[in-house]
Amino acid sequence: MTDLALELLRVEYAYRRDVALRGVSLKVRPGEVVAITGPSGCGKSTLLHCAAGILRPQAGTVQLAGQNLADLSEAVRTRLRRTQAGVVLQFGQLVPDLTLIDNVALPLLLEGHDRAGARRAAMEWLDRVGVGEDATAVPGELSGGQNQRAAVARALVTGPAIVFADEPTGSLDSLAGEQMMELLLASVHNGGAALVLVTHDNLVAAYADREVRLRDGAVQHEVALS
Amino acid sequence: MNFATLFELARPRSATDRSRFRLLVTTIAIAGAFLLAAWRIKRLGFRGYYYSDKYSDYIQEDGIRSGVAFAAVLLAVAACLLAFQALKLGTAARDRRLAAFRLAGATPNQVRGLGAVDAGIAGLIGGILAGPLYLLLALAIQSLPRTARMLPPVNSVDLATWPIVAAVLTVVAAAVGALLGRGVISDPRERSAKAPNVTRAAIAGAAGIGLVLLSHLIRKEYFATLVPLGLGLIFICLALPTLLVAWQGNRLERSRNPLKVLAGGRLLRTVRPHGRTLALLVLCGSAVGFVAAMTVELLQTRDGFDLGFHLTGLVFAASAAVFTALIAGVSLLAGTADDLLDQRRQLAALNVLGVGEAQLRTSVRYQLTSSVTWAVAGGLLIGGVLYADLSVRDPYSPSQTTALLTTVGLAVVGAGLAWLIAGLAALLLRGHVHEAAAAENLRST
Amino acid sequence: MATAELVLGLLHNGPAHGYDVKRGHDAWFPDSRPLAFGQVYTTLSRLERDNLVEVVDRGSEGGPERTVYGLTEQGRAHLADWLAEPIQPALGAVDEMVRKVVATIHTGEDATAFLARQRASHLRRIRELRAASTDSDDDTPARLARDFVAVHLDADLRWLDGALDRITELKETRR
């Protein structure tokens, strides 16, 4: 039982014939911000999906919040993912049929909370990320920036140990992107969570304490930035 | 762009495209078969008694004969409506593809050409298949006892009517396909799904009830009384789904079960595309309810005298309604599958939260059962009540109690069956759910 | 270095002492080297000779520190013209980093290690600039200057990635 938020050991993954990861190892300490960079196709997103437990690696181990994912049953793994890992994607992750507040409350409802409590917590988070006024709107009625803020709220509402962000500013212009990164960092620090940022944008990578650069599915280098 | 290119570009590509194509061909074939049947009956002439010991009295008596032909045409129209629904499936993905064609330099007319070819080919194949289907229908009906032979056997003239019907279907399908294929360049962002317009539906429903009450002013003997009654029924059928969906959707959304919340949200946002199919279900339900009430009254008043004659007609009417309802159900299923694939990225993202395939299937089941069950039950009740209303105007009609009790019982049974079938249908969507929740859908651009 | 035009800009809001001009410049560009007094007075006297500024008040002691300068009509026009003219992109200027990378290719040294160190250096500098922006009160001109540097550092890194890809490709095709 380590106190690392995330540990990957020699993880390998291939999509049918396309090898995406060749033995990648990574350690993330609690509260740390790590940027995973590299050219497109280097395996960054695959690494994130393996780390978040969305994909099962063909070799190697993934330890999330101290627990080896392979040892767990599907149900326990899902619960662990839901409570310990938050995910923010580039776009399109909110359910278009539900209002923002219902979207953010969803993880709590899945955890078994009662509706009133879940909505209360969701509203608090929506206020914190600055879209409290739009709580009763559906994603289709709002801008990309507003939706991304709600996505951050949804990722953090269960108080996870680690947040995975895959190109979170990819669909936003530079000013909105900067605001998004500041919000993400502030929210993550508030909750004491670690942040793993997958990005090809150097300006986004500069927000991290450490950069891990991938190339062709392997780690090219690791440098400390703080 | 020559025809070969058009054909190549318009070909169905994905699994969704193929199932849409199949549904389109099926509904057009069914429409064609019913049109051929109506034409066959028309060839007996609409005036004068047609004496025959081989056919049912329904087509022997001239008044009823035109009714049967009209009923066949109505069934063809219902099948066409479902074909139209099928044509509109997969709109988001197809809009994107058509917009891509426009950007590549295709003119609006060329894009319309694609739409025309796409629908026209389905129309052609459906029209061709209508022939054998009609033959099957005629043979099946001929195998029934004499009173039930609503359709005369196929004759040589049908060899001529078949290609004509097929050609008409092809041309109409192509025309509708061309009209629908716009290929607008603007980014078709998530279809701005509108919430159900409850006020408008309530007004329409009230108007429908008003029309039914209005029909009381016209004496029962005149056929004219059926006009406001029929119109009122149509208004109610169009209004009910919206009200139903609003009720069930909001109820589900207020649940603490997140899968019900998802189902409720999806119901509320898909009321426009699915509302029409649900309205058809309500209409079919009312037809069955109406027929059932009529049967009960028939059994009460007549004692064996030409009972067989009336019952046959009623059984046919009920079967036709059930058949149409089943096709409508398939259409609804296809539409739901379409919605799932439309939201694949969001559903894959939900996978991270723990809403896996099994949970998604359950959510879809909640969605289908809540809407279909109440639509069917509502329709059955409306049909029975409408018949009671009509019957009561006759001072010699028997007490309506038995009939109304039957209606309620039928509604319960019908609702139960609908619930079961909807649950099974959700199972059929397994493949689509799997495709929607796949992790590949999370790839960033 | 368009110091003359900058001084005109600093006098735009009204006449000022040479000392105020220097202070204004340093406030506008907090990360650049502070403007030397000598340079301020040389520039001001040149501008006065060219009739772009004029002496508004000699001051009681008569020394250059007490003189108050202000813009002339010509000075205002000159400033407006300068602001309206777009910058010509610098062509042919070969940066230190380009020299290093070219040298790396020819000497056959390990480029990966160089990339790692250069990325670390550039990214740290971007962090420092960002921290400075959050520390100070929102002074938009200063912030803009820092953003400029950050964006150019980003451009350097992107160029570097591309350059190293080319080198790798070249090595592989030659093998």
State whether residue A211 sits within 8 Å of chain C by CB.
Answer: yes
Task: Chain C: give the shortest CA distance to residue A214, in Å.
Answer: 12
Q: End-to-end distance of chain B based on CA atoms, in angstroms?
A: 32
Q: Please count the residue pairs, one from chain A and one from chain C, whose beta carbons lie less than 8 angstroms apart.
A: 47
Judged by average pLDDT, the poorest of A183-192, B181-190, B330-339, C87-96 is B181-190
pLDDT at B184 (0 to 100): 54
The two structure tokens encoding residue B243: 């009200």
Q: Domain extents for chain B?
A: 3-180, 198-442
The candidate with the shortest Cα–Cα distance to B428, out of B342, B348, B361, is B361
Candidates A211, A220, A221; nearest CB to C123? A211
Question: What is the torsional sign of CA B290, B204, B73, B334?
Answer: negative
Contact list in A for residue B261 (CB cut-off 8 A) is 98, 102, 106, 109
Integer CA distances (angstroms), B73 to B25, B40, B401, C89, in order: 18, 12, 34, 75
State the average pLDDT over residues A108-112.
92
CB within 8 Å of B338: residues ≥ 6 apart: B16, B89, B90, B91
- Judging contacts by C-beta atoms under 8 Å, the chain A residues touching residue C117 are 223
- Buried b / exposed e over B288-326, threshold 16 CB at 10 Å, is bbbbbbbbbbeeeeeeeeeeebbbbbeebbbebbeebbe
Range in A41-50, B109-118, C162-171 with the lowest mean pLDDT: C162-171
Q: Among residues of chain B, what percentage have pLDDT more than 70?
A: 92
Residue A24 predicted with pLDDT over 90 = yes
The b/e string for B118-128 (b: 16+ C-beta within 10 A; e otherwise) is bbbbbbbbbbb
CA pair distance A44, A49, nearest whole angstrom: 9
Q: State yes or no: pLDDT of C173 exceeds 50.
A: yes
- The DSSP element (H or E) to which B382 belongs, if any, is helix B357-392
How many angstroms separate the first and last alpha carbons of chain A?
27
A144 touches chain B (CB under 8 A): no
Q: Which chain C residue lies closest to A213 (C-alpha atoms)? A: C116
| Architecture of the domain delimited by A6-224 | 3-Layer(aba) Sandwich (3.40)
Q: How much is the pTM?
A: 0.78
B127 close to B165: Cβ distance less than 8 angstroms? yes
Please determine, for residue B88, whether its predicted confidence score (pLDDT) is greater than 90.
no
Residue B189 scores a pLDDT above 50 = no
Do residues B444 and A54 touch, judged by C-beta distance below 8 A?
A: no
Residue pointed to by tokens 């990722």: A155
pLDDT the model gives residue B260: 94
What does the pLDDT read at residue A22? Answer: 93
Give the ranges where B55-197 is alpha helix by DSSP (H): 57-60, 62-87, 91-103, 108-142, 158-180
Q: What is the pLDDT of residues C31-56, one digit of tens each?
A: 778 888 888 989 999 999 999 999 88
Q: Residue B179 pLDDT more than 70?
A: yes
The end-to-end CA distance of chain C, in Å, is 47
The full DSSP string for C31-61 is TSPPPPHHHHHHHHHHHHHTTSEEEEE--SS
The CATH classification number of C3-84 equals: 1.10.10.10
Instruction: Name the minimum distance, in Å, from the CA of A3 to any CA of chain B.
Output: 23
Sheet of A85-88, strand order: A85-88, A162-166, A194-198, A33-37, A210-215, A218-224
**Res. B32: pLDDT tops 60:** yes
Instruction: Look at A14 and B351; give whichever has higher pLDDT.
Output: A14
b/e B362-395 (16+ beta carbons within 10 angstroms → b): bbbbbbbbbbbbbbbbbbbbbbbbbbbbbbeeee
Mean pLDDT, residues C142-148 taken together:
86
pLDDT at B370: 93
pLDDT in tens, B368-426: 999 999 999 999 999 999 888 888 877 777 777 888 888 999 999 999 999 998 888 88
Touch between chain C and chain B: 3 or more Cβ pairs under 8 Å? no
Which residues of chain A does B192 touch, with a Cβ-Cβ cutoff of 8 Å?
Answer: 140-141
Chain B hits for A93, CB-CB cut-off 8 Å, are: 345-346, 349
**Which of B272, B353, B355 is the best mutation test for A, with the most CBs of A within 10 A?**
B353
| Partner C contacted by A225 (CB < 8 A) | yes
**What is the domain partition of chain A in residue ranges?**
6-224
Confidence of residue A198 (pLDDT cuts 50, 70, 90): very high
- B190: pLDDT strictly greater than 50: no
Provide DSSP, A104-125.
HHHHHHHHT--HHHHHHHHHHH
Within an 8 Å CB–CB cutoff, is residue A186 touching chain C? no
Mean pLDDT (whole number) for C103-130:
81
Is the pLDDT at B201 greater than 80? The verdict is yes
- Banded model confidence at residue B222, pLDDT cuts 50, 70, 90: low
Q: What is the pLDDT of residue A194?
A: 95
Nearest to C119 among A203, A223, A226 (CB): A223
Q: In angstroms, rounded to a whole number, what is the distance separating the alpha carbons of residues B328 and B368?
A: 13
At residue B273, does pLDDT exceed 80?
Answer: no
pLDDT at B215: 82
Q: Domain segments of chain C: what residues?
A: 3-84, 96-174
- The closest alpha carbon to A147, from A128, A129, A120, belongs to A129
Q: What is the structure's pLDDT at A219?
A: 94
- A vs B, Cβ pairs < 8 A, gives 95
B149 DSSP assignment = -
- When the pLDDT of each residue in chain A is averaged and rounded to a whole number, the result is 91
Instruction: State mean pLDDT over C122-146.
Output: 82
Give the tens place of pLDDT for each residue, C54-72: 988 877 665 666 788 999 9
Q: Which of A132-146, B235-249, B262-276 is predicted least confidently?
A: B262-276
Quick check: A197 and A165 in contact, CB under 8 A?
yes
pLDDT digits (tens, 9 = 90+) for B50-65: 777 777 777 777 777 8
Asked whether the predicted pLDDT for residue B187 surpasses 50, the reply is no
**Shortest distance, CA A40 to any CA of chain C (angstroms):** 12
- Residues of C within 8 A of A201 (CB-CB) are 154
- Asked if residue C67 lies in contact with residue C58, where contact means CB atoms within 8 angstroms, the answer is yes
